[in-house]
């Protein structure tokens, strides 16, 4: 295969990944706290080799998969009326304890588990400012969560939600659709987070825009596929003509 063929194959591979990322965003348009993902592509210059290059040709540019960028814009906040639903306004993440260690989330759809602990949608314990699971007794029926994350009931103070931030949130690694793994990023405490009780932050995905992008990406993939087919036909025709002349 000649150079145009390799360049087209590289383009098709990245075009496929781009459509997969967009499809993943659309699938999570209703996932609380979800952050849309964006692929980041670049170009890699390769020196032209052999005598096939034109005079002054500096090489060939191949598309390169560089990274995945996370859109950190806040999603819309909607009132739910559920006292255990909480939404973060501005930066910050709630902290939950999983079997794999601490994880961080913007999805504030919490509930009370069978053991009285405050848990997320996957049953992970929500941690307080001291790093301990938050628990309620059977007598705690009127739950009030203030703007700074303090939790009170008719029986007194319970705990304070642990909310952290990161200097480089782009370095967080998505684990599923709601949780983030910090890896080597150190969480920084937020003493005065902005929390709204009885509300939930939705995904920051705009379905119509994502569908428009997905349609455009699919068209680009089709154009590249057609170009690849024509290039293959051109090469086959050239080989046939060369063989006929030699015979």
E strand map for the chain: 37-46, 60-70, 77-79, 86-88, 93-98, 101-105, 111-112, 118-119, 125-126, 144-145, 150-153, 156-160, 163-165, 173-175, 179-181, 188-189, 195-197, 199-201
- For residue 74, the 8-state DSSP code is P
Nearest-angstrom CA–CA distance, 226 and 124: 49
Q: In Å, how far from its chain's centre is CA 122? A: 18
For residue 51, what pLDDT is reported? 42
End-to-end CA distance of the chain: 23
Where in the chain are the domains?
3-73+205-246, 77-201
For residue 17, what pLDDT is reported? 85
Residue 53: Cβ-neighbour burial (10 angstroms; 0-12, 13-18, 19+): middle
Note down pLDDT in tens along the chain; length 247 residues: 466 667 777 777 788 888 889 999 999 999 999 999 998 876 765 655 554 455 555 666 767 777 788 899 999 999 999 999 999 999 999 999 999 999 999 999 999 998 999 999 999 999 999 999 999 999 999 999 999 999 999 999 999 999 999 999 999 999 988 999 998 889 999 988 999 999 999 999 999 999 998 888 888 878 777 777 777 777 777 777 887 777 6
Output the CA–CA distances (angstroms, integers) from residue 86 to 23, 113, 240, in the order listed. Answer: 28, 17, 69
Report the predicted TM-score, pTM, of the whole model to 2 decimal places: 0.76
Q: What is the pLDDT of residues 205-214, one digit of tens each?
A: 999 999 998 8
Q: What is the pLDDT of residues 105-123, one digit of tens each?
A: 999 999 999 899 999 999 9
Tokens of 164: 């952290």
> Which single residue is written with the structure tokens 């293959």?
232
Q: What is the pLDDT of residues 87-107, one digit of tens each?
A: 999 999 999 999 999 999 999
For residue 81, what pLDDT is reported? 92
């Amino acid at each position: 295969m000649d150079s145009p063929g390799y360049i087209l194959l590289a383009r098709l591979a990245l075009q496929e990944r781009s459509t997969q990322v967009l499809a993943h965003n659309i699938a999570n348009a209703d996932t609380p706290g979800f952050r849309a993902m964006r692929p980041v592509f670049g170009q890699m210059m390769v020196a032209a080799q052999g005598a096939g290059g034109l005079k002054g040709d500096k090489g060939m540019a191949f598309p390169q998969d560089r990274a995945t960028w996370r859109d950190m814009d806040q999603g819309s906040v909607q009132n739910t009326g559920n006292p255990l639903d909480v939404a973060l306004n501005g930066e910050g993440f709630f902290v939950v304890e999983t079997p794999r260690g601490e994880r961080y989330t913007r999805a504030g759809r919490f509930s009370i588990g069978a053991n009285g602990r405050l848990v997320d949608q996957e049953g992970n314990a929500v941690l307080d400012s001291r790093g301990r699971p938050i628990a309620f007794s059977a007598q705690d029926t009127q739950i009030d969560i203030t703007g700074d994350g303090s939790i009170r009931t008719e029986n007194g103070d319970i705990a304070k939600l642990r909310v952290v931030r990161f200097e480089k949130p782009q370095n967080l690694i998505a684990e599923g659709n709601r949780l983030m793994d910090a890896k080597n990023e150190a969480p920084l405490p937020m003493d005065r987070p902005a929390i709204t009780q009885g509300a939930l932050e939705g995904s920051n995905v705009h379905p119509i825009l994502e569908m428009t992008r997905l349609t455009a990406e699919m068209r680009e993939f089709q154009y590249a596929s057609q170009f690849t087919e024509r290039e293959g036909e051109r090469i086959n025709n050239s080989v046939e003509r060369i063989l006929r002349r030699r015979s």
